[in-house]
Chain A
Amino acid sequence: MTDAASIVKHADQAAEHAVELRLLSHPTYLAGARELVSGISRRLGFDDKGSGQIALAVDEALANIINHGYQRAPDRPIWIKLWSEAGPGLAGVRIVVEDEAPHVDVAKICGRDLEDVKPGGLGVHIIKEVMDSAEYSTRDPVGMRLTMVKHLNDTHAPCPDGPAPMDTPANG
């Protein structure tokens, strides 16, 4: 199998084993979502700092949806999908956060100027700072999607006493 084919196969396996969480747009659920994402990230091999950063990025994404996408309506759906990334130099985690909020121009989604110190406007900046990539897109026919990826450092081994990573053939 070529390297490229191997990567595709790993990606397919990872997609099959994605974790998906549906929650309502109420701030009460933020802490639980953070704990879930942080726990899975640790199992995938991220250390405390890395898993904390991933949980922070998800928290900021959810808070933006609650505040801006849904205008604080507490009963709208949000989906978090998470799976491991595989392949040489690509190991890590991919997280997709989706909602049913009205479409916005993705080119206009950006953090505020950090020199202009004022309350708010930091969420997008934080997400882009702590993740390796973060891209917004629109869903059809309604809703927004944020796809975030963070790669593992080679020095971080998966938790030895944890379950097999979600993308291993043992789980496939």
Chain B
Amino acid sequence: MDEPTDITITTEQRGDACVLFPVGDIDLSRSPVLRASMKTALDDKPQRLVIELSGVSYMDSSGVATLVEAMQLSRKAGVGLVLCSLTERVQSIFEIARLEQVFTITDDLDGALAT
């Protein structure tokens, strides 16, 4: 099945951290794009993987599942995973799924880079 790719993901190196900046809604049709970017980033074995989510105004459970998968892959690879700058709606779905204590989440990118 062809999947739409109307989500953009920029990758930047900040010190020892690889930072992903996804922009767009993350649902069943877009989460594969995020998953591919995260796997590519993890292949380079950065010390930390930061996902800056200020550009994500909507995320459903497929997006959450993708981030849980990233957490598991990061742990296996010995890479620290930090989420930052969650919008109110994305924060809400993490709370509904009771995952806000499972992930390392910071208010902003500076906080993520300082962890």
Q: Which residues of A contact B37 (CB under 8 A)?
A: none
Q: Is the interface of A mostly helix, strand, loop or mixed?
A: helix
- A163 on the interface (CB 8 Å rule)? no
Q: Are A30 and B65 in contact (CB under 8 A)?
A: no
Query: How far does the alpha carbon of A59 sit from the alpha carbon of B61 in the complex, in Å?
Result: 9
- The bracket for how many chain A residues form the interface is 20 to 34
Q: Are A59 and B27 in contact (CB under 8 A)?
A: yes
Interface centre among B3, B61, B89, B98 (most CB of A within 10 A): B61
Chain B, 28-83, CB within 8 A of any chain A CB: 28-29, 58, 60-62, 64-66, 68-69, 72
Nearest residue, chain A, Cβ from B35: A119
Q: Which residues of A contact B66 (CB under 8 A)?
A: 119
Q: Are B93 and A126 in contact (CB under 8 A)?
A: yes
Query: How far does the alpha carbon of A125 sit from the alpha carbon of B96 in the complex, in Å?
Result: 8
Q: Are A122 and B28 in contact (CB under 8 A)?
A: no
Q: Are B28 and A67 in contact (CB under 8 A)?
A: yes
A20 to chain B, nearest CB (A): 22
Contacts A30-B27, A63-B27, A72-B1; A125 near B97 (Cβ below 8 A): yes
Q: Are A122 and B29 in contact (CB under 8 A)?
A: no
Q: Which of A27, A120, A130 touches B3 (beta carbons < 8 Å)?
A: A27
- A1 on the interface (CB 8 Å rule)? no
Nearest residue, chain A, Cβ from B96: A129
Contacts A59-B60, A66-B28; A26 near B68 (Cβ below 8 A): no
Q: Are A27 and B29 in contact (CB under 8 A)?
A: yes
Q: Which of B60, B68, B72, B93 touches A63 (beta carbons < 8 Å)?
A: B60
Chain A, 49-66, CB within 8 A of any chain B CB: 49, 52, 56, 59-60, 63, 66
Produce 1/0 per residue, B1-40, CB < 8 A to A: 1011000000000000000000001011100000000000
Q: Which residues of B contact A122 (CB under 8 A)?
A: 61, 64-65, 97
**Which of B's residues lie within 8 Å of A, judged by CB?**
1, 3-4, 25, 27-29, 58, 60-62, 64-66, 68-69, 72, 89, 92-93, 96-99, 102
Listed A/B pairs (6) with beta-carbon separation below 8 Å: A27-B1, A30-B27, A56-B60, A66-B28, A118-B72, A119-B65
